Amino acid sequence: MASETAATSQRRRPAEDMLAELKARLREIADLRAANAVLSWDQATFMPEGGAAARGRQMAMLSRLAHERSVAPDIGRLIDTLTPYSESLPPASDDARLIRVARRDFEKAIKVPADYVARASAHAAASYQEWTRARPANDFKSMVPYLEKTLDLSREYSQFFAPYAHIADPHIDDADEGMNAASVSKLFGELKRGLRPLVDAICDQPEADDSCLRREFAKPRQLEFARRAAEEIGYDFQRGRLDLTHHPFCTRFSAGDVRITTRVNDHDLGDALFSTLHESGHAMYEQGIDPALAGSPLGHGVSAGVHESQSRLWENVVARSRGFWEYFYPLLQRAFVDELAGVPLETFHRAINKVARSLIRTDADEVTYNLHITLRFDLEVRMLEGRLAVKDLAEAWRAAMQADLRVTPPDDRDGCLQDVHWYSGAIGGAFHSYTIGNILAAQFYAAALKAHPEISGEIPRGAFATLHDWLRENIYRHGSKFPPNELVARATGAAMSMEPYLQYLREKYGALYKLPAMVN
């Protein structure tokens, strides 16, 4: 490039000042959201019940302030003025990408009227409240009017983004930029075709015995072990902490404070351990983002699917592998001498990878889990398209469970009432990211192994740094700088693909269940 003249430098100065102003404004929005996240974390961990009403009001207030600032016309003007400037910057520079993401966020936010946001969030709160009563009572009927309104609101939301190819597209794009109903349907069709023979072959074998996980395991020792495992794989406790909650999650307040939560069950050794490692995977992603991106719209994980790939890579691909337990199992046995002394590694490894057709998504194994997701995705799409009425959802759910998993829920509590998503948010884009995460986890791991074949020999020695460094270098540090498709291509040299995942499942479960080669 030709050297810069004083004149262009002069013309650029205001652009640089405006960029600094935009960054300062975006940081204030990020700070409001982080403050809200602290309130939300506290609500889910330590807040006494009596705090609920005031907390709800305080959080709604902070959300409103953040939203108002994010749609302020002067932010739009800053972004408009900076767009030509961004085109003069190197296309992969932080600033060019920041302006792109700020523009995308702004354009999406201004399409949704404030009165819609208020109506939708009030309805979501009322629906969630009713669901907490209706699910234990197995009362789908009382949820029908709520869900009908949710469906109306979800369809209305899509209209703000018209024209679109499919009514689910705006919801899917919110979770995973660049994906849409057509691309997800195509992937899921391919996945189902690959999974069905594998699930059939596994379920033809004698069921794995997981009774060794169901003995009584003291909670403090479980937590201590989970904490140690999280620390050894690379979650940084200097910039994080682990607390107890009902539904484990990870939350980021700043680059130096990314927290995880877990739950512990004294009759299920896997619960605290795997949920802690899952959330550690989310947290390591957030902890690994380049500090230069902090406080900007690039300073967090890029999409729901990519985020989920990082939690599942550590939880499933690494922490349910044989190599991982060659290192950790002797330590676990030392922590639970009476409970595990007579249980061989082989038995334990099979137990934590037990595959069985089951009713509940969150309890499902790594293989059948995806069938729970593809089923929900199909139902969402049919409801949005108007091909399935809400009142017929429970019946459609039972039919789909029977067709895809060959089990029929005895009631709606363990059927279409089981997940909070539709009852506290939108219908559309609510579930597909979990399976996108599984698919990408295998693809990223295969790319890491290709670059560093030594990783598979390091894990059995408890050495995770090579893998962690590869993930930090190729995924974590970029935050939201590259859209998901570009990130995947940069990290793996290919577009998102099903093949590494199916191959991973076939190899792992082929060996565990001694399957005939026909499923390959």
Q: Which residues are annotated as catalytic?
A: 279
Nearer CB in complex with Zn ion: 172/343: 172
Give the residue at shortest CB distance from Zn ion: 311
216-237 per-residue burial string, b: 16 or more CB within 10 A, e: under 16: ebeeeebbebbbebbeebbbee
Residue 43 near residue 62, CB atoms below 8 Å = no
Number of other CB atoms surrounding residue 145 within 10 Å: 13
Stretch that binds Zn ion, among 53-61, 64-72, 149-157, 304-312 (CB under 5 A): 304-312
Of the pair 105, 308, the CB lying nearest Zn ion is at 308
Question: Smallest Cα–Cα separation from 370: which of 175, 195, 183?
Answer: 195
Report the residue number, 154 or 311, with the smaller CB distance to Zn ion: 311
| CB 282, min distance to Zn ion, A | 6
CB of 401 to Zn ion, least distance (A): 23
Residues 115-154 that bind Zn ion (CB under 5 A): none
Report d(CA 267, CA 278) in Å as an integer: 20
Residue that is written with structure tokens 């009425």 in the block: 389
Q: What are phi and psi of 388, to 5 degrees?
A: -130, 125
Give 97 or 307: the residue with its C-beta nearer to Zn ion: 307
From 98-106, 110-118, 303-311, 381-389, give the range in contact with Zn ion by CB under 5 A: 303-311
- Give the nearest distance from C-beta 311 to Zn ion in angstroms: 4
Residue 238 contacts by C-beta under 8 Å, 6 or more apart in sequence?
Answer: none
Q: Is 152 helix (H, G, I), strand (E, B) or coil?
A: helix
Say if residues 366 and 317 touch (Cβ distance below 8 Å). no
Q: Residues 305 to 324: which contact Zn ion by CB under 5 A?
A: 311
Closest distance between Zn ion and the C-beta of residue 283, in Å? Answer: 10
Cβ–Cβ < 8 Å for 170, 176: no
What is the nearest approach in angstroms of Zn ion to the Cβ of residue 247?
Answer: 11
The counts of H helices and E strands in the chain are: 22, 3
Q: How far apart are CA 148 and CA 156, in angstroms?
A: 12
Considering only residues 247-266, where is the footprint of Zn ion by CB under 5 A?
A: none
State the binding string over 441-480 for Zn ion (x if CB under 5 A, else -): ----------------------------------------
Instruction: Name which of 287 and 311 has its Cβ closer to Zn ion.
Output: 311
86 vs 311, which CB is nearer to Zn ion?
A: 311
- Residue 86 binds Zn ion, judged by CB under 5 A: no
How many CB atoms sit inside 10 A of residue 334's CB?
11
Cβ atoms 374, 191 nearer than 8 A:
yes
Q: How far is the CB of 172 from Zn ion (least distance, A)?
A: 18
DSSP 324-388: HHHHHHHHHHHHTHHHHTT--HHHHHHHTT-----S-GGG--TTTHHHHHHHHHHHHHHHHHTSS
Smallest separation (angstroms) from Zn ion to the CB of 435: 12
Report CA-CA distances (Å) from 374 to 12, 106, 194, 377, 513: 50, 31, 13, 5, 24
CA distance 419 to 171: 18
- 8 Å CB contact between 384 and 428: yes
Residues 407-436, one symbol each (x = binds Zn ion by CB under 5 A, - = not), give ------------------------------
Distance in Å, CB of 308 to Zn ion, minimum: 5
Total number of residues that touch Zn ion (CB under 5 A)? 1
User: Of the two residues 120 and 277, which places its CB atom closer to Zn ion in the complex?
Assistant: 277
Question: Judged by CB, which is closer to Zn ion: 157, or 285?
Answer: 285
For residues 90 and 96, the answer to whether their CB atoms sit within 8 Å is yes
Binding stretches for Zn ion (CB under 5 A): 311
